[in-house]
A and B are shown apart, each in its own frame.
Chain A
Amino acid sequence: MKQPLVRIERLIKYFPIRAGVFKRVVAWVKAVDDVSFDVFEGETVGLVGESGCGKTTIGMTLLRLYEPTSGRIIVGEEDTTYYFLPTTKARSYLKRSYTDRFQQLLKEKGSTDSVIDSLQGIDRRYAEIFFGDAKGSASKFLSVMLSNMDEKRKKFRRDLQIVFQDPYSSLNPRLRVKTIVGEGPLTHRLVRGDKEVVERVKAVLEDVGISGEYIYRFPHEFSGGQRQRIGVARALALSPKLIIADEAVAALDVSIRSQVINLMKDLQKEHKLTYLFISHDLSVIKYVSDRVIVMYLGKIVESAPKKNLFDEPLHPYTRALMSAIPIPNPNIKKERIILKGDVPSPINPPSGCRFHTRCYMAVEECSKIEPQLREVKPDHYVACHLVK
């Protein structure tokens, strides 16, 4: 089986809402609520959904700019969930997720081999370390896992990068392009000395279609599209494996938008990049993605390869979204599904299927039982009671 570059497992991110003099937590915004998906090397995964459904939160949590409330984030062969936690928290995470579980399994199954055999993927790999090198000792396992944290974090930062939406706020107005794009390579010591920085920055800038002569300019001296290219260059300068593009073209004019998208597609081929492309705009998603994940109120409602999804959307929400994209061919008749009402608040999401308050197909059980994401056709997952 192909191994995913990034695997997100049961990711939950709740934001506390605090109020009063003592800033007590009075409620939680359930921004991302039990989301799992894989991203494979070289593909572009499109993440789409209405504003506020948790797309940005997924990206930020993946990069650990927010700490997840729970869930696992696996990158390549490593569980990276504990990478940015303070040591005590990291230890308790590792105990909870691995050593305690392995010891429990050992009691149930009797032999280490049968424990290892019952596991797969990363769990199996870690069980092999636990029962092998660590000889079943939790403290040895923890010290293996917690060694070289600096290097692990650095590698994580190099491999996963992000391009932001706002071409204005995403570049520090006080720094020259050379400093902005050179910051990553310098931090990771991919270059040394001024000459190497200049060389590297020039090379990356030319890659994104900006003349190397401009390295001493300030961000405000560029147009929106150029600034977005500089944002791409900053990410690219670390030679990452995955780039998260969060509404990377949403703020641009339509004409410039396609230029930047095409640039990103070219870069993908050239540098073997993987993209997690976040957008609320289905036409952008349709253009760039290989696989599409549709979200609603913190949950995945449907995911499928692009062709399958656009040819045959199965979830009522996806169908409603699609009926809203204009089709260039006037001969194709299309029924427009209009969703009533606003997106409910993620603080108190509707019971059962979160979409039932706006769903035009809802039946009684929808408000009671939460539909699970199931594979209804090869590689096509849907969370709806009516899709069999």
Chain B
Amino acid sequence: MRTETKRMIKRLLRNPSAVLGFSLLIFFTVIAIGAPLICPPQSYDPYMIPIVTWDKTPQPPSTEHPFGVIDGRDIFYGVIWGTRTAFKVGLIVTLTSTIIGLLIGSVAGYFGGWLDEILMRITDVFLSIPYILAAIVVTAFLGMGLNKVMISLIMFGWMATARLIRGNILQVREEQYVLAARALGVNDYLVILKHVLPNTIFPVVIQATMRIGSLVITAAALSFLGLGAPVGYADWGSLLNFARNWLLGASGEAFKYWYAIVYPGVAMVLFVLAWNLVGDALRDVFDPRLRG
């Protein structure tokens, strides 16, 4: 197994986009962990961006505020601590909704029959509601705040996983290698563990990885609409929300306030990119047909 792992790592290192993805991810992780060192918190809640001036007009980057200031708040601080928020939202929402989807999908796929029928009809109902709209309505109903956003994203984020795992289980259950394993006398749990799950779970892991990135965008969209984090919370979407009023720049200078958009925007794009590249890399590693 150790040679196996070594081989996998070697393979990953040969793939430039995988290297880029993992590097970005490591970079973001370091920033998220090191946030208190990079930007020491100045109030009891480190996630609140400190107010550095009462002047609401954006101020360009300076040595003191390297990414500039918007709405009186330090953009650099917001971007750094926003990394933590992005991880928090992405990981918690993805993990929870994936687990819910896994449970529902595997119960449906494994037991079949009327249970499958009922669970899949419920899934259909959830799927028929547009995601963003549902999230907006639920968040509005639960009340504002990051936690409420996360709950609504979880509530409407499990269906794809449920469908994927159910379809895979149904398909794999009929595969001749599963029948062959049963004919060999391998017990049912081992058959599931060794033959069914490995051929069903990896697509789910890959799908979940890719979703982490896009979730951050959805959460940002909700923040952008003013439904997410409270004002002043270190969150890339909220930073962009501040920038909304300054999007057009000043008269005659369209890009005057570029820093208000570019820094949080780039952070977000790179974060999404990182997860997508990592998802792609995992797909390569997990699919033995692509192994050299």
Judge whether A174 and B199 touch: CB under 8 Å.
yes
Asked if B54 is at the interface (CB within 8 A of a chain A CB), the reply is no
Judge whether B288 and A173 touch: CB under 8 Å.
yes
A180 CA to B178 CA in the complex, in Å? 11
Judge whether A21 and B288 touch: CB under 8 Å.
no
A260 CA to B186 CA in the complex, in Å? 27
Judge whether A234 and B184 touch: CB under 8 Å.
yes
A157 CA to B186 CA in the complex, in Å? 9
User: If A23-B113, A234-B180 touch, does A188 touch B288 (CB 8 Å cutoff)?
Assistant: no
Contact of A174 (CB < 8 Å), options: B113, B182, B186, B198: B198
Q: What's the nearest-Cβ distance from chain A to residue B240, in Å?
A: 43
User: If A21-B117, A23-B113 touch, does A171 touch B177 (CB 8 Å cutoff)?
Assistant: yes
User: If A169-B175, A172-B177 touch, does A218 touch B288 (CB 8 Å cutoff)?
Assistant: yes
B169-194 vs A, Cβ < 8 Å mask (1 yes, 0 no): 00000011101111111100000001
A188 CA to B184 CA in the complex, in Å? 9
Q: Which residues of B contact A172 (CB under 8 A)?
A: 175, 177, 181, 195, 199
Judge whether B289 and A220 touch: CB under 8 Å.
yes
Q: Which residues of A contact B10 (CB under 8 A)?
A: none
Of residues 182 to 230 in B, which have CB atoms within 8 Å of A's CB atoms? 182-186, 194-195, 198-199
Asked if B141 is at the interface (CB within 8 A of a chain A CB), the reply is no
Judge whether A65 and B114 touch: CB under 8 Å.
no
Q: What's the nearest-Cβ distance from chain A to residue B166, in Å?
A: 16
Judge whether A187 and B177 touch: CB under 8 Å.
no
A160 CA to B182 CA in the complex, in Å? 12
Of residues 146 to 196 in A, which have CB atoms within 8 Å of B's CB atoms? 153-154, 157-158, 160-162, 164-166, 169-175, 180, 183-184, 187-188
Judge whether B180 and A170 touch: CB under 8 Å.
yes
* Size bin of chain A's contact surface: 20 to 34
Q: Which residues of A contact B2 (CB under 8 A)?
A: none
Q: Which residues of A contact B195 (CB under 8 A)?
A: 172
Q: Which residues of A contact B180 (CB under 8 A)?
A: 162, 164, 170, 231, 234
Q: Which residues of B contact A220 (CB under 8 A)?
A: 288-289
Closest to A158 in B: B185
Judge whether B185 and A174 touch: CB under 8 Å.
no
Asked if B6 is at the interface (CB within 8 A of a chain A CB), the reply is no
Q: Which residues of B contact A158 (CB under 8 A)?
A: 185
Contact of A184 (CB < 8 Å), options: B175, B184, B198, B291: B184
Residue tally, chain B, CB below 8 Å to A? 21
A63 CA to B181 CA in the complex, in Å? 12
Judge whether A187 and B198 touch: CB under 8 Å.
no
User: If A157-B184, A218-B291 touch, does A65 touch B179 (CB 8 Å cutoff)?
Assistant: yes
Q: What's the nearest-Cβ distance from chain B to residue A230, in Å?
A: 11
Contact of B114 (CB < 8 Å), options: A22, A161, A175: A22
A153 CA to B186 CA in the complex, in Å? 11
A18 CA to B291 CA in the complex, in Å? 42
A153 CA to B183 CA in the complex, in Å? 11
A7 CA to B291 CA in the complex, in Å? 46
Contact of A169 (CB < 8 Å), options: B114, B177, B186: B177
Q: What's the nearest-Cβ distance from chain B to residue A221, in Å?
A: 9
Closest to A161 in B: B183
A11 CA to B262 CA in the complex, in Å? 74
User: What is the count of residue pairs linking A and B with beta-carbon distances less than 8 angstroms?
Assistant: 67
Judge whether B176 and A164 touch: CB under 8 Å.
yes
Judge whether B185 and A153 touch: CB under 8 Å.
yes
For B175, B180, B198, B291, which residue has the most chain A Cβ atoms within 10 angstroms?
Answer: B180
User: If A174-B199, A218-B291, A220-B289 touch, does A166 touch B185 (CB 8 Å cutoff)?
Assistant: no
Contact of B184 (CB < 8 Å), options: A21, A170, A175, A183: A183
Q: Which residues of A contact B288 (CB under 8 A)?
A: 173-174, 218, 220
Q: Which residues of A contact B198 (CB under 8 A)?
A: 174
A383 CA to B184 CA in the complex, in Å? 36
Judge whether B185 and A170 touch: CB under 8 Å.
no
Q: What's the nearest-Cβ distance from chain B to residue A45, in Å?
A: 18
Asked if A201 is at the interface (CB within 8 A of a chain B CB), the reply is no
Asked if A301 is at the interface (CB within 8 A of a chain B CB), the reply is no
Judge whether B179 and A164 touch: CB under 8 Å.
yes
Closest to B289 in A: A220
Q: Which residues of B contact A21 (CB under 8 A)?
A: 114, 117
User: If A162-B180, A164-B180 touch, does A173 touch B199 (CB 8 Å cutoff)?
Assistant: yes
Asked if A238 is at the interface (CB within 8 A of a chain B CB), the reply is yes
A120 CA to B186 CA in the complex, in Å? 35
Judge whether B183 and A170 touch: CB under 8 Å.
no
Judge whether A154 and B184 touch: CB under 8 Å.
no
Q: What's the nearest-Cβ distance from chain B to residue A74, in Å?
A: 19
A18 CA to B195 CA in the complex, in Å? 28
Judge whether B185 and A157 touch: CB under 8 Å.
yes
Q: Which residues of A contact B114 (CB under 8 A)?
A: 21-23
Contact of B177 (CB < 8 Å), options: A18, A160, A170: A170
Q: Which residues of B contact A65 (CB under 8 A)?
A: 179, 182-183
Q: Which residues of A contact B177 (CB under 8 A)?
A: 169-172, 180
A281 CA to B176 CA in the complex, in Å? 21
Q: What's the nearest-Cβ distance from chain A to residue B62, in Å?
A: 55
A238 CA to B183 CA in the complex, in Å? 11
A60 CA to B180 CA in the complex, in Å? 10
Q: Which residues of B contact A238 (CB under 8 A)?
A: 184
Judge whether A187 and B185 touch: CB under 8 Å.
yes
A43 CA to B117 CA in the complex, in Å? 47
Q: Which residues of A contact B176 (CB under 8 A)?
A: 164-166, 169-170
Closest to A172 in B: B177
Q: What's the nearest-Cβ distance from chain B to residue A6, in Å?
A: 15
A4 CA to B26 CA in the complex, in Å? 67
A231 CA to B182 CA in the complex, in Å? 14
Q: Which residues of A contact B175 (CB under 8 A)?
A: 169, 172
Q: Which residues of B contact A234 (CB under 8 A)?
A: 180, 184
Known pairs A65-B182, A157-B184, A169-B176; list 8 more (Cβ under 8 Å). Answer: A21-B114, A22-B114, A63-B183, A173-B199, A174-B199, A183-B186, A220-B289, A238-B184
9 A-B residue pairs with CB within 8 Å:
A23-B113, A23-B114, A23-B117, A65-B179, A157-B183, A172-B195, A174-B198, A180-B177, A218-B288
Closest 7 CB pairs of A and B: A157-B185, A170-B176, A164-B176, A172-B177, A184-B184, A169-B176, A218-B288
